[in-house]
Amino acid sequence: MADGVSSFWGPVTSTYDWCETNYVYSPYVAEIFNTLSNVPCILLALIGLVNSLSQRFEKRFSVLHLSNMILSIGSILYHATLQQLQQQADETPMVWEMLLYIYILYSPDWHYQSTMPTFLFLYGAVFAVAHSLFHFNTLFKVHYALLCLLCIPRMYKYYIHTEERSAKRIAKLYLATLVAATSFWLVDRLLCKKISTGWWPYDLQGHAVWHFLMGFNSYFANTFLMYCRARQRGWDPKVKYFLSLFPYVKIEKPKQQ
């Protein structure tokens, strides 16, 4: 905590306090950069949600964009307060979101349509209860990383079967933002003590950069998956750009759909 600044939320109770110095700018926000860096993810998810609803994509994509928004709001609450309850509101949706990605990636080839969503729902519910009781720390990070790794082979399969250059570019942006975000996350974790002791003169705000890049990463992942799903359904997808910056998928459904 910065000298001379009191905390509105009381002592830190979360299992981890990130490298950013607490309560520097306001007694109401513990980590200002880690908090505000979630805003781009909310805005990008809103763009994706509007596109999904306006073109009547399958509901799974609307839920996916909403889950990105919910996750970012949970992260805002966590980093603004550094309270254990808010930490649960951040970490549990992270796992739920990855389960949703697993469903979207693998369900097209799953022959028993009700089995996978039922299993993933029960898995997410059990995890939520267990995490609220035992407050996993390192185990949570390992578990989350494993869920992410489960998605990568399927994303690669979709990539190699995609011929459209603009769609492949989105997949490359997904990979680039994932690698860059992970690098900043590791820098924040590994160099935190050296930054706090003055050995390294500049705080790169690595965790805030992680939030910022992962917001774009989620948007690129969602857009690429929407393109691939539209191809599977025969909707003649095309990649367009909103404000000449943000890619989105334009589809043309057959009249009978």
In a domain, 5, yes or no: no
| 17 assigned binding-site residue | yes
Q: Residue 218 belongs to a domain with what CATH number? A: 1.20.1070
| 110 assigned binding-site residue | no
- Average pLDDT of span 241-247: 94
In a domain, 169, yes or no: yes
pTM above 0.75, yes or no: yes
In a domain, 20, yes or no: no
In a domain, 64, yes or no: yes
| 18 assigned binding-site residue | yes
| 31 assigned binding-site residue | yes
In a domain, 27, yes or no: no
Q: Domain range spanning residue 228?
A: 32-250
Highest-scoring range by mean pLDDT, 181-185, 200-204, 253-257: 181-185
| 79 assigned binding-site residue | yes
**Per-residue confidence band for 2, with pLDDT thresholds at 50, 70 and 90:** very low
| 207 assigned binding-site residue | yes
- Counting the structural domains of the chain, the total is 1
Instruction: Give tens-digit pLDDT for 51-106.
Output: 999 999 999 999 999 999 999 999 999 999 999 999 998 999 999 999 999 999 99
| 20 assigned binding-site residue | yes
In a domain, 11, yes or no: no
In a domain, 233, yes or no: yes
Q: Is the pLDDT of residue 200 over 90?
A: no
Instruction: Give tens-digit pLDDT for 129-156.
Output: 999 999 899 999 999 999 999 999 999 9
In a domain, 23, yes or no: no
| 143 assigned binding-site residue | no
Q: Is the pLDDT of residue 4 over 90?
A: no
Those residues whose C-beta lies under 8 Å from the C-beta of residue 243, and which sit 6 or more positions away, are none
